[in-house]
């Protein structure tokens, strides 16, 4: 009835997974597993659980603690004290509409989870929503929705949050090791992956074209948004456009060389994820040049900032440059100045230093913006 499998972790240590699978009339009616560091402990747990499950009425009692996945997701959402971001909530709603969500927790194995990921990659949509996609695709053409591996990876990450808490929190038999196995399989097959890392940085010439363009626009239409200031602030603060627009005057503390970014982007938590960031002198000078007309220092729409930047690049013939690349340039500059990872993270607000390891190959070459005419006080008016 029970088996023990051995595997080697990434750090070289051994893990022993004890699994129990009960069948009735040829169908699996219950499965559960636990992973241990010692084989003896796995054997002891297996023997204990086999004895318990052999007792009269054991299976009937288990069914009361074996909800379908959709119900577990609902309980996860209702129990979580952390405010849930829009993207995560949308992902969990879609997962609830997939056939895997109708399965009992104990019956969900690695192939079920891998199949769910494969379905997402192949363009699966809930029944009744195919027409919505077809209509949105334009001119009634039948188009196939193909999700990128990075997108599938996001769905799997949010589903993994449910698997991580289901057993320790409520005793539901969702098998975390089965989920981890599915992640390994789908990663190796290319069904899921992490987001691609861009290395595009703007050149001084490209930035001067953009800043000249927006400076001329502001002279013609003074009421237009100060795109030049926001481009420079993005570089010297390393902030994303949606973060720039939520910085408030009441969260600006120049005397402590810091400012507050509310609801900063994070895979597992956005709402309520407020982070203090180190304020660099160049970013401080830009803030000080902004009028205090609203609660926000840059009271503009993040989507509009991105569109203005993209449209200007098209007009100027600047290819493959995104507003987000300014953040990458700003972080790269700090490493070029000789900063180390812990110090850079106080500016970039990376919670995990692992994300900054991709920059460690950058050599210390000094500040490419030193003496630049577009720096605050450099002689050119934005």
Q: Give Cα 142 to chain centroid, integer Å.
A: 31
287 in Cβ contact with 252 (< 8 Å): yes
59 plus 71 within the same structural domain: no
Average pLDDT score over residue span 130-159: 69
pLDDT at site 61: 64
According to the model, what pLDDT value does residue 35 have?
83
Phi, psi torsion values for 181, nearest 5 degrees: -60, -40
Nearest to 118 by CA among 139, 147, 138, 92: 147
**372 belongs to a structural domain:** no
Residue 328 in any domain: the answer is yes
Residue 374 located in a structural domain: no
Residue 255 backbone zone (phi > 0: left; psi -120 to 50: alpha; other: beta): alpha
Give per-residue pLDDT as tens, 194-239. 766 778 999 999 999 999 999 999 999 988 999 999 999 999 999 9
Higher-confidence residue: 272 or 129?
129
pLDDT band at 330 (very low <50, low <70, confident <90, very high): very high
pLDDT recorded at residue 142: 47
User: Which of 63, 79, 107 is a domain's end point?
Assistant: 63
Q: Are 16 and 38 in contact (CB under 8 A)?
A: yes
State residue 56's pLDDT score: 79
Residue 256 shares a structural domain with residue 122: no
What is the reported pLDDT for 258?
Answer: 96
| Residue with the larger pLDDT of the pair 283 and 375 | 283
Asked if 126 and 217 sit in the same domain, the reply is: no
For residue 30, what pLDDT is reported?
A: 75
Residues 119 and 191 in one domain: yes
pLDDT at 130 over 70: no
- Collapsed DSSP state (helix, strand, coil) of residue 374: coil
In this structure, are residues 66 and 105 in contact, taking their beta carbons and an 8 Å threshold?
yes
- Check whether residue 123 and residue 259 sit in a common domain: no
178 lies in the same domain as 275:
no
Same domain, 122 and 44: no
Whether the predicted pLDDT of 97 surpasses 70: yes
Establish if 179 belongs to a structural domain.
Answer: yes
Q: What is the mean pLDDT of the chain?
A: 86
Q: Is the pLDDT of residue 174 over 80?
A: yes
Provide the pLDDT confidence category of residue 139 given band limits of 50, 70 and 90. very low
Does residue 135 have a pLDDT over 80? no
Structural domain count, the chain = 3
Q: What are the tokens at 324?
A: 């987000």
4: Cβ contacts below 8 Å, ≥ 6 apart: 16, 17, 18, 19, 39, 42, 43, 46
Using the 3D structure, point to which of 63, 83, 99 is the last residue of a domain. Answer: 63
> How far is C-alpha 87 from the geometric centre of its chain's CA atoms?
9
pLDDT the model gives residue 375: 82
**Domain for residue 291, yes or no?**
yes
78 belongs to a structural domain? yes
Question: Does a structural domain hold residue 268?
Answer: yes
Give me the pLDDT at residue 310, please: 95
Same domain (yes/no): 118, 163: yes
Mean pLDDT to the nearest integer, 92-114: 91
Residue 277 sits in a domain whose CATH number is: 1.10.443.10
Q: Is 5 helix (H, G, I), strand (E, B) or coil?
A: strand
Contact 298, 244 (CB under 8 A): yes
CB-CB neighbours of 60 under 10 Å: 8
Percent of the chain at pLDDT above 90?
52
Q: How confident is the model at residue 378 (pLDDT cuts 50, 70, 90)?
A: low
**pLDDT tens, residue by residue, 263-282:** 886 544 455 578 999 999 99
pLDDT bracket for residue 328 (50, 70, 90):
very high
Strand order through the sheet with 275-278: 252-253, 258-261, 275-278
Q: Do 149 and 38 have their domain in common?
A: no
Local confidence band at 79 (pLDDT 50, 70, 90 cut-offs): confident
**112 lies in the same domain as 160:** yes
More confident position, 95 or 9: 95
Q: What are the E-state strand segments in 197-345?
A: 252-253, 258-261, 275-278
42 and 23, same domain (yes or no): yes
Is residue 39 domain-shared with residue 86, that is, in the same domain?
no
Question: Does position 160 have pLDDT exceeding 70, yes or no?
Answer: yes
Q: What percent of the chain has pLDDT over 70?
A: 88
pLDDT score for 1: 64
Instruction: Give the pLDDT band (50/70/90) at residue 159.
Output: very high
Range of the domain at 12: 1-63
Last residue of a domain, one of 63, 82, 115: 63
pTM of the model: 0.58
Phi, psi for 286 (deg, rounded to 5): -70, -45
Least confident of 5-9, 96-100, 333-337, 342-346: 5-9
Q: Is it the case that residue 379 has pLDDT exceeding 60?
A: no
Question: Residue 353's pLDDT is what?
Answer: 81
Provide the pLDDT for residue 273: 76
Please indicate, yes or no, if residue 366 is contained in any of the structural domains. Answer: no
pLDDT at 46 over 60: yes
Selected residue with higher pLDDT from 299 and 263: 299
């Amino acid at each position: 009835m029970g088996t023990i499998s051995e595997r080697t972790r990434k750090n070289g240590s051994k893990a022993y997974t004890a699994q129990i699978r009960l069948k009735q009339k040829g169908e699996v009616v219950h499965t559960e597993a636990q992973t241990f560091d010692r084989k003896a402990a796995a054997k002891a747990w297996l023997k204990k659980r086999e004895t318990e499950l052999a007792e009269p009425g054991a299976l009937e009692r288990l069914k009361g603690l074996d909800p379908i996945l959709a119900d577990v997701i609902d309980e996860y959402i209702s129990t979580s004290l952390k405010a849930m971001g829009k993207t995560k909530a949308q992902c969990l709603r879609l997962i609830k509409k997939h056939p895997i969500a109708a399965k009992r927790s104990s019956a969900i194995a690695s192939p079920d989870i891998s199949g769910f990921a494969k379905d997402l990659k192949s363009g699966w949509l809930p029944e009744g929503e195919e027409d919505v996609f077809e209509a949105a695709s334009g001119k009634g053409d039948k188009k196939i929705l193909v999700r990128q591996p990075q997108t599938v990876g996001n769905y799997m990450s949010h589903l993994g949050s449910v698997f991580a808490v289901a057993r320790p929190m409520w005793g539901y038999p969702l098998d975390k090791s089965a989920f981890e196995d599915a992640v390994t399989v789908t990663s190796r097959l290319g069904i899921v992956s992490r987001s691609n890392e861009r290395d595009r940085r703007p050149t001084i010439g490209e930035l001067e074209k953009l800043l000249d363009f927006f400076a001329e626009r502001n002279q013609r239409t003074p009421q237009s948004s100060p795109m030049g200031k926001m481009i420079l602030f993005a570089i010297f603060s390393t902030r994303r456009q949606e973060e720039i627009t939520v910085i408030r005057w009441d969260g600006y503390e120049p005397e402590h060389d810091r400012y507050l970014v509310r609801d900063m982007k994070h895979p597992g938590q956005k709402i309520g994820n407020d982070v203090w960031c180190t304020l660099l002198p160049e970013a401080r000078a830009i803030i000080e040049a902004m009028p205090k007309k609203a609660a926000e220092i840059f009271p503009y729409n993040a989507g509009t900032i991105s569109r203005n930047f993209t449209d200007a690049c098209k007009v100027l013939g600047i290819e493959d440059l995104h507003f987000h690349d300014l953040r990458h340039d700003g972080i790269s500059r700090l490493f070029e100045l000789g900063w180390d990872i812990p110090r850079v993270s106080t500016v970039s607000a990376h919670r995990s230093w692992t994300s900054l390891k991709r920059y460690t190959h950058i050599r210390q070459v000094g500040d490419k913006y030193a003496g630049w005419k577009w720096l605050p006080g450099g002689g050119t008016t934005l």
